[in-house]
Amino acid sequence: MQQTVEYFEYLIVGAKATALVGGVAYLLAILFGFAAGIARAEKIPVARTVAFIYVEIFRGTSLIVQLFWIYYSLPLIGLSISPLMAGCLGIGLNSGAFASEIVRGALLSVPVSQLEAAAALDLSRGQTLWKIIIPQAVREMAPPFGNLSIAILKDTALVSMISIADIAFRAQQLRTFTYDSARIYGVSLVIYFGMALVLLMIGRMAEFYARPKYLRSWLLSRKAAQ
C-alpha cells in the first residue's frame, strides 16, 4: 500500500502538465473550431476553402504524426517551439478540426424560420449570426463540447512522446525503474479517471445552463445592457 501511495505522489505531479496541456489545447480547439465552423456554415468563399483543407488534413491524419511534425519539422524552417507549445498546438489543431464540425452542425440546425424572421427585422448577416444563430446553436454544441474536453484529456497522454513530463511520461519513467507495470498504470488510470469526472461534471453544468430558459435570460440581459 505504501508503494502505491508513493507512485500516486510521483504521478500526480505530472497531472499539472496534463491539465495545462489539456486546458490550453481545449481553448485552441474552441477557437479553431468556431473559426472553421462558421467559415464553412456561412459559405465564406476563400475562408470556406481554407477551413475545408484544414479540417480534412487534421481529421484525416494521425495525431501522434501531427505532434512529431510540429515538434521536429517546424525547426527546419526556423520555427523552433518548446515541447509544451508543440503539444498544445498539435492537440488544439487536431481537436479544432473535429470541433468545427460540431459548430457547423449546430449552426445549420437553427430553423430557417429564425433566419426569415431576422431578415424581416432587416438584420445584417453578421447581426443574424451573433444575435440569432449562435445563441441558439450553443444549446446544441454543449454536449459534444463536453465530450470533446474528455477526448482532449485522453489525447494529452501522447505528448509524453515529445518529452513533456505529464502523467504518461512519469508513469513510463517509473515502469522503467521498477517494472511494476500493473500498479503504476493502475494508479495512472485512477488519476485520469478522476480528472475526467471533473470534466464530466463541468460539462453537465454547461449543458444545464445552455437550456433555453437560461439562454433567454442571458439574451434579455444583453438587450437591457444595450
Where do runs of H (alpha helix) occur along 42-166?
Answer: 45-60, 63-68, 83-108, 112-120, 125-128, 134-155
**Is the pLDDT score of 31 beyond 60?**
yes
The pLDDT value given to residue 108: 86
Domain residue extents for the chain: 2-225
Q: 110 or 184, which is more confident?
A: 184
What would the CATH number be for the domain defined by 2-225?
1.10.3720.10
The residues, ordered by sequence, that sit 6+ positions from 95 with a Cβ below 8 Å of its Cβ are: 25, 26, 28, 29, 33, 148, 151, 152, 155
Interval 118-127 mean pLDDT: 76
